[in-house]
């Protein structure tokens, strides 16, 4: 049985985020990009995170801090625009994580995405 995709879509990794992380396909929507970036956080794929981070807001060291959280699940709460015909959109999500052995937390954010040269990129987000 194929491994489930870490993003929680219900699809297999091979049939969901893997083609995006490998650069074999571009995420068609802001939500798909958001899911693939969550999967990249789970897999500590700094190169993919850097490649999908808008140049204006990308940290100098994307890998910094990547090892600190254990990600336990993603819930997409809502989206605005960000579809195949759009150039911008937002995705609101909760990402559950454990830090250390016992501390559980969640990261809730409304993220902004724009399309640059046909490819969705993460710009920034508001914590909520
Ligand atoms: Zn996925």
Q: What is the CATH number of the domain that holds 122?
A: 3.10.450.50
Distance from Cα 40 to the centre of ligand 1, integer Å: 10
Q: Please write the tens of the pLDDT for every residue from 62-91.
A: 999 898 888 999 999 999 999 999 999 999
When divided into structural domains, the chain yields a total of 1
Distance from Cα 56 to the centre of ligand 1, integer Å: 26
Region of residue 117 (phi > 0: left; psi between -120 and 50: alpha; otherwise: beta): left
2 inside domain: no
46 inside domain: yes
Instruction: Identify the helix (H) or strand (E) that includes residue 42.
Output: helix 30-42
Distance from Cα 89 to the centre of ligand 1, integer Å: 19
49 inside domain: yes
Report the pLDDT value the prediction gives residue 1, as an integer from 0 to 100. 64
Beta strands in the chain (DSSP E): 70-81, 88-99, 103-116, 119-127
Q: Residue 26, Cα to own-chain centre: how many angstroms?
A: 13
Tens digit of pLDDT at every position of the chain (128 positions): 689 999 999 999 999 999 999 999 999 999 999 999 999 999 999 999 999 999 999 999 999 989 888 899 999 999 999 999 999 999 999 999 987 666 789 999 999 999 999 999 999 999 97
- Domain with 108 in it: 18-127
Between the two ends of the chain, the Cα-to-Cα distance in Å is 37
């Amino acid at each position: 049985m194929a491994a489930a995709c870490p993003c929680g879509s219900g699809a297999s990794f091979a049939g969901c985020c893997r083609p995006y992380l490998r650069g074999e396909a571009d995420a068609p929507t802001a939500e798909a990009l958001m899911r693939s970036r969550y999967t990249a956080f789970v897999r500590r794929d700094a190169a993919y995170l850097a490649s999908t981070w808008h140049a204006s807001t990308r940290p100098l060291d994307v890998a910094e801090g990547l090892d600190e959280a254990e990600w336990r699940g993603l819930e997409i709460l809502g989206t605005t625009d960000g579809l195949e015909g759009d150039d911008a959109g937002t995705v609101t999500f909760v990402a559950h994580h454990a830090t250390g052995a016992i501390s559980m937390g969640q990261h809730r954010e409304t993220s902004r995405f724009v399309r640059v040269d046909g490819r969705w990129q993460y710009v920034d987000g508001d914590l909520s």
